[in-house]
């Protein structure tokens, strides 16, 4: 009997799981592994929360002011260079942009004393008239404070057309800002050509350039993809917005917003995602914009606006 009890006791203490370890040791190892996994998951959650927090902050941060100089052919003899402020994608109506923030941005633009202000579309947020209701009216007071000796001009963007182009154009007019819908105007030493938005199918390049002759030319539009519809040399300087510089830029350098999350449609040519692009015979400048679209975050694509000095070959 004693020998039988000893054998039973030995079986209880040396019973092992499949890996050959005593059961208490295996359980301890499993507990340590679960703790490590938990720590990793907690770290990932903390990193994710920090990333989202930073993105929520970046979208409402003071826009970066970017500067560059562009020599234009056919510059009028004896004319001094001018500075152009390029501002786009205000998207008023969500947490990234209200009237008070827009007023601060306008004050920052005025402080740089540009000769000309160009507003490159997407003034409001929304995808239809109902979602954009009441947004355009918030533009009037802040934008009426813009000051530039050669004036301020605007083109419309896809969100403006989706929510009601006439309503946005009326708000701009109330602020003293003409809308250049496929037409041109003289502004000091340059001919300013406004091409309506290509992304929403409202561009008409032939109409926009009708009557444009020789001389220094600056094109302003919303989507930079209109470049593909321009003749060589037709627009030596093109200023655009629309892309938000990707808004959320992946480690690969591609923007998360390159394709629509709703439709899968490509939103822009990645070549013209952001910044200054020098093509043969043409310089394209794409601003990140000062507001935000449907997503309320920015990562590695801070809001910005540009101050572009244009003039003769030797600046």
User: 112: closest CA among 79, 72, 82?
Assistant: 82
* Local structure of residue 144 (DSSP, 8 states): T
Instruction: Name the percent of the chain lying above pLDDT 70.
Output: 82
N- to C-terminal Cα separation, the chain? 107
Instruction: Provide the pLDDT confidence category of residue 301 given band limits of 50, 70 and 90.
Output: confident
User: 64: closest CA among 309, 306, 308, 249?
Assistant: 306
Q: Convert the pLDDT of each residue in 83-126 to its tens digit.
A: 999 999 999 988 899 999 999 999 999 999 999 999 999 999 98
Instruction: Name the percent of the chain lying above pLDDT 90.
Output: 63
Indicate the range of 65-69, 190-194, 248-252 predicted with least confidence.
248-252
CB contact at 8 A, 237 and 283? yes
What pLDDT, on the 0 to 100 scale, is given for residue 38? 64
Rounded distance between C-alpha atoms, residue 87 and residue 64, angstroms: 11
Instruction: Provide the pLDDT confidence category of residue 64 given band limits of 50, 70 and 90.
Output: very high
Instruction: Provide the pLDDT confidence category of residue 244 given band limits of 50, 70 and 90.
Output: very high
Rounded distance between C-alpha atoms, residue 198 and residue 190, angstroms: 23
Q: Convert the pLDDT of each residue in 166-221 to its tens digit.
A: 999 999 999 999 999 999 999 999 999 999 999 999 999 999 999 998 899 999 99
Q: Decide which of 41 and 127 is more confident.
A: 127
Rounded distance between C-alpha atoms, residue 231 and residue 5, angstroms: 98
Q: Convert the pLDDT of each residue in 260-285 to its tens digit.
A: 766 778 889 999 999 999 999 999 99
- Whether pLDDT at 20 is above 60: no
Indicate the range of 138-152, 224-238, 291-305 predicted with least confidence.
291-305
Write out the two tokens for 295.
Answer: 């997503």
- Name the 3-class secondary structure at 47: helix
Rounded distance between C-alpha atoms, residue 253 and residue 96, angstroms: 23
Give residue limits of the domains in the chain.
Answer: 2-50, 62-311
**Is domain 62-311 in CATH 1.10.15, yes or no?**
no
For the chain, give the mean pLDDT: 86
Sort 296 into a burial class: Cβ within 10 Å, 0-12 / 13-18 / 19+: middle
């Amino acid at each position: 009997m004693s020998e039988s009890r000893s054998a039973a006791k030995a079986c209880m203490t040396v019973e092992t799981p499949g890996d050959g370890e005593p059961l208490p040791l295996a359980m301890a190892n499993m507990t340590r592994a679960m703790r490590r996994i938990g720590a990793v998951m907690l770290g990932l959650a903390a990193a994710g929360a920090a990333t989202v927090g930073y993105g929520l902050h970046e979208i409402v941060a003071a826009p970066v002011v970017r500067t560059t100089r562009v020599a234009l052919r056919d510059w009028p003899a004896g004319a001094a260079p001018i500075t152009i402020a390029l501002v786009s994608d205000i998207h008023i109506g969500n947490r990234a942009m209200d009237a008070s923030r827009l007023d601060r941005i306008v004050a920052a633009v005025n402080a740089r004393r540009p000769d000309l202000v160009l507003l490159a579309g997407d003034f409001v947020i929304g995808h239809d008239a109902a979602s954009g209701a009441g947004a355009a009216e918030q533009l009037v007071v802040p934008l009426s404070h813009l000051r530039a000796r050669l004036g301020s001009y605007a083109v419309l963007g896809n969100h403006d057309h989706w929510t009601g182009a006439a309503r946005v154009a009326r708000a701009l007019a109330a602020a003293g800002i003409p809308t250049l819908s496929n037409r041109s105007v003289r502004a000091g030493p340059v001919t300013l050509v406004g091409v309506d938005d290509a992304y929403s199918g409202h561009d008409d390049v032939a109409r926009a350039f009708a009557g444009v002759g020789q001389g220094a030319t600056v094109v302003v539009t919303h989507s930079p993809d209109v470049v593909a519809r321009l003749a060589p040399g037709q627009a030596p300087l093109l200023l655009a917005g629309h892309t938000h510089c990707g808004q959320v830029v992946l480690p690969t350098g591609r923007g998360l917003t390159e394709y629509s999350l709703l439709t899968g449609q490509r939103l822009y040519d990645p070549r013209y995602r952001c910044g200054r692009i020098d093509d043969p015979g043409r310089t394209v400048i794409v601003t990140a914009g000062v507001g935000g679209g449907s997503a309320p975050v920015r990562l590695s694509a801070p809001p910005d606006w540009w101050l572009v000095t244009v003039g003769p070959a030797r600046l």
